[in-house]
Chain A
Amino acid sequence: MTKSKLLEHNMVPYHEIIVGEEVEALLEKYKIKKEQLPKIRSDDPIVLEIGAVPGDIVKITRKSQTAEEALFYRLVIETIV
């Protein structure tokens, strides 16, 4: 059985790693430090798939009932226990 990609699944929103300026712009926009972002564990299946490592920021584009599309950002953290 070939393993299908999670991102291709209907229910999984689009995840991508953002870097450099985009990160700075995000932190500047909300005037926050990295640690104040919501977290996602490094052993999360989707994180493994896109190859993000702790410290990376993942941008999630979700479908929304209210707005058509909603953006979320999560900080990848080390998995402890």
Chain B
Amino acid sequence: MISNRIKIQRIPKRISAIKFGLLSPKEIRRMSATNVITADTYDQDNYPIDMGLMDKRLGVIDPGLKCSTCHEKAGDCPGHFGHIDLVVPVIHVGFNKVLRKLLRSICWNCSRLLLEQERKTIYLEKLAEVEEIGHMPDNVINEVFKEASKVKECPYCLELQKDIKFEKPTDYIEDGVKLTPTEIRSRFENIPDEDIRVVGMDPENARPEWMILTVLPVPPVTVRPSITLESGQRSEDDLTHKLVDIIRINQRFQENRDAGAPQLIIEDLWELLQYHVTTFFDNSVSGIPPARHRSGRPLKTLSQRLKGKEGRFRGSLAGKRVNFSARTVISPDPDLSINEVGVPLDIAKVLTIPENVTERNMPFLKKRIMNGSNYPGANYVIRPDGGRIKITDINSEDVCERLEPGWIVERHLQDKDIVLFNRQPSLHKMSIMSHFVKVLPGKTFRLNPAVCPPYNADFDGDEMNLHVLQTEESRAEARILLLVQENILSPRFGGPIIGGIHDHISGMFLLTRKDNDINNRISKNDALELLKKTDIRELPDPAGTFEDGEPYWTGKQIFSMILPDDLNVEFSSSIGVKDIEEDKKTDSYVVIRDGQLIEGTIDEAAIGAFKAKILDTIIKEYGTSRGAQFIDDATKLSVRAIMRSGLSFGLADEDIPEEAIIQIDEGLSIAEKKVRELVDLYNNEELEVIPGRSLEETLEMRIMQELGKARDKAGKIADSHMTLENPAALMARSGARGSILNITQMAACVGQQAVRGARINRGYHGRTLSHFPSGDLGAAAHGFVNSSYKEGMSPTEFFFHAIGGREGLVDTAVRTSQSGYLQRRLVSALQDLEVQRDYSVRDTRGVVIQFLYGEDGVDPTKSDFSKPEAIHRIFRSVTKKKDTKDKKEDKKEKEA
């Protein structure tokens, strides 16, 4: 028997077709193992009751019992359907839509489709046509229903058609009289086969009357297993509970009818039976209260098992739980490579890699087995016959003795193993990348802060998942395609998505600033300290000597050490104004020649994530490994550079001189006066209306404009009093963190608070708060905050600020859920498209979507920030001409 089964399993089968249809009562009875007539499950001895809901013929779940249908024991028996004979027919909720359409499309008297014969022929032809092309027939069928339900008089028996109203969830009302399922069923039974075909149904496999249930299939016991609680009490599955209800009502109906009960009682019972059968299929039908468990919890019936995120499709089939994975909090470690991930020792001892035993790795693996659970050890060995042996202190020697080639050892995770690292939500491919393991003490995953941008991670308590790859193929694929360094360039915009953040940028900025600062004379010891963690061991010729004769180096020199020797780039940095001549004066035009930083300051535009010009050039010229090396060195160097002077920010850093405060206050009071003037103009009806706007809108816009300008002006004044010596200004201008707006709000003026893009206009009748006169249209009454964060806000200002802040919070909460669903739909629509080897984009059927990927066939990661610049770069590197200048000269030549 067993050998026979294995044989059957080995025959490969090809599915040639799948046919969908409705289960006919005949078919339900044919596949039924037994008729279920008792609403009980087990007797006193915990033995399944015959013809009960747990009948042995429906399959078994208790160990020790054997199925009466297939004679297999629990686990091997797949379970078998039973059936309940319903005393009266009931409607199947799932078919309500079709039922309604069909009822309206057939004659109540002769049951024929309400269309002339020639129309039917035309529709049949159309259906055949659609089927031939392989399209869905839905449109044609809907048209049939639409046309037929409009007919007033049956073309065959000439009876006038009545209006049929559908009432949720299962009532059909014809001219005020409720149609019984029996009536509906008998109408459907009389529809000729030919008419059924016209509405797109196949009379062989799906007769409309089968949508009205006369027999209810009872799912196998294996589908609704009961669980035994610790107290020994049995707890039945929700489906079983529902079936109990159905059988009880069914019986009561029978008894009442046999006893000749009044029509009213019969109808009530019928409705109750309909309710139970409906909720058995779907317990979330609108219009009826969901069936509840004794505890008050809604029952999980058939459609609840399938629907939604935790349902069978999305929860069990499309997504599953995995082994060999770990999750913990993340924390930063700039001394790790971007390709590495720090794994806590405790995790490394649980996650394992299966290693095939060969002659050559035998001694190594034996050592691991001897270590057992002591790191670096091994947890299991697998014999060639598939037997798993757990390694313990007692059997480790014994296992070692027996180990031979062909066995598999599941050894602990160790340094340089490759693993997948992931942070949810996984919105793009860079959300899952592979890293090399570095086993470290501690309890958190460690990662280089430069890889935070692609994961969108920070360290305020974020957790990440790690997956250990179990096959050679997967490890090779992870190494080649998923390694962090292979994903530095984002296909989204063709530039690096990985790069320096926060302190990396501040640090580099401090290090490479113009060398007039005493800070920038770096002694030999300090220079070596800066480069300590990199592989660089030799310093270039010193830039000069101190008074005491000791040599010193500049920050630009130190930075140049981590550049490739023959790198050439020129660009304007973040602090610059994108004008070469102007930027050269402020040391913000970066010139790197032959791997030496000649002038310019390194900031966000040079090494920052999303911008990093230098990194971009290095990867495109020297490859991803050199790029990764550069980021590694840059992160190590920059954190040491920032520690040389330190960078802190305190309350005093928001200080601006007295005269600036006066200036700002003046500006604000002028703005306020202007607002008052505008309001006066409005009140005197002298305000000039902006075309397409109402008078009120014009006023609001003008006021918003005026106040916006005022805030910007205040910000400009504050900013002009902050040099690069001010840490906030330094961070904002170099692009490390924060913006000029943040500085403005802290030091000068918080500005207008807005709800839905307009000034705050809610609260009491005619005014926002009782602190203002009714009808006040002034700045302060509608949420303009004069104060800065440092000064502190007045109570009314604080309240307005809270209103504006709350809107921001609600917005983000709403937006994330909406964009998440949008993303899900987009991904579902696009997931099977593929770029083929001929650069065409096709779906799984081979239907072409784009004849040339992106219309130009260019891989965005290979282009310069998605501009067709690459060819120019190659041209320049061959001709050895300098960049930007030539272009201008070229233009001039052309013009000439």
Contacts and interface: CB of A to CB of B under 8 A. Distances in A.
Interface of A: 29-30, 32, 35-38, 62, 64-67, 70-73, 77-78, 80-81
Interface string B832-854: 00000010101001111101101
Nearest to B843: A36
B851 A81 contact: no
Interface string B849-879: 1011011111000000000100000000000
B143 interface: yes
A70 B129 contact: no
A27 to B, nearest CB: 11
Contact of A32 (B848, B855, B856): B848
B390 to A, nearest CB: 54
Contacts of B309: none
B856 A64 contact: yes
A30 B848 contact: yes
B130 interface: yes
A66 B858 contact: yes
The 9 closest A-B pairs by CB, nearest first: A67-B856, A70-B855, A66-B856, A81-B139, A64-B855, A67-B855, A36-B846, A36-B847, A66-B855
Interface of B: 126, 129-130, 133, 135, 139-140, 143, 838, 840, 842, 845-849, 851-852, 854-858, 868
A70 B856 CA distance: 8
Contacts of B854: 66
A80 B94 CA distance: 29
Given A66-B856, A80-B140, A30 B840 contact: yes
Nearest to A38: B848
A57 B851 CA distance: 14
B129 A81 contact: no
B140 A81 contact: yes
A36 B847 CA distance: 4
Contact of A67 (B140, B838, B845, B852): B852
Contacts of A67: 852, 855-857
A59 B824 CA distance: 33
Nearest to A29: B838
Contacts of B840: 30
Contact of A30 (B129, B838, B868): B838
Contacts of A66: 854-856, 858, 868
A80 B135 contact: yes
B135 A30 contact: no
A37 B140 contact: no
Nearest to B129: A80
Given A30-B838, A80-B126, A37 B133 contact: no
Contact of A37 (B126, B135, B847): B847
Contacts of A29: 838
A53 B749 CA distance: 68
Residue of A29, A66, A73 contacting most chain B CB atoms (<10 Å): A66
Residue of A62, A64, A65, A81 contacting most chain B CB atoms (<10 Å): A81
Contacts of A64: 855-856
A81 B848 contact: no
A38 B855 contact: no
6 contacts: A36-B842, A36-B846, A38-B847, A38-B848, A64-B856, A72-B851
B855 A36 contact: no
A65 B855 CA distance: 8
Contacts of A62: 855
Nearest to B134: A35
A37 B846 CA distance: 9
B601 to A, nearest CB: 34
Nearest to A70: B855
Residue of B129, B139, B847, B857 contacting most chain A CB atoms (<10 Å): B847
Contacts of A65: 855
A22 B82 CA distance: 63
Contacts of A37: 847-848
B207 to A, nearest CB: 26
Contacts of A35: 847
B862 to A, nearest CB: 13
B851 A36 contact: no
A70 B852 CA distance: 8
Nearest to B852: A70
Contacts of B852: 67, 70-71
A30 B849 CA distance: 12
A30 B855 CA distance: 15
Contacts of A81: 126, 139-140, 143
Contacts of B140: 80-81
Contact of A78 (B129, B848, B855, B858): B129
B195 to A, nearest CB: 20
A80 B856 CA distance: 34
Contacts of A73: 848, 851
Nearest to A68: B856
A50 B852 CA distance: 25
Nearest to B847: A36
A80 B855 contact: no
Contacts of B846: 32, 36
A80 B139 contact: yes
A80 B132 CA distance: 12
B851 A71 contact: yes
Contacts of A36: 842, 845-848
Given A30-B840, A66-B855, A66-B856, A77 B848 contact: no
Contacts of B868: 66
A38 B856 CA distance: 18
B113 to A, nearest CB: 18
Nearest to A37: B848
B292 to A, nearest CB: 45
Contacts of B849: 38
Contacts of B126: 80-81
A37 B143 CA distance: 28
Contacts of A38: 847-849
A30 B851 contact: yes
A80 B135 CA distance: 10
A35 B134 CA distance: 11
Residue of A62, A67, A71, A73 contacting most chain B CB atoms (<10 Å): A67
A43 to B, nearest CB: 14
Contacts of B857: 67
Nearest to A33: B846
Given A62-B855, A80-B130, 11 more contacts: A30-B851, A32-B846, A35-B847, A36-B848, A66-B854, A66-B855, A67-B852, A67-B856, A73-B851, A80-B133, A81-B140
A45 B869 CA distance: 39
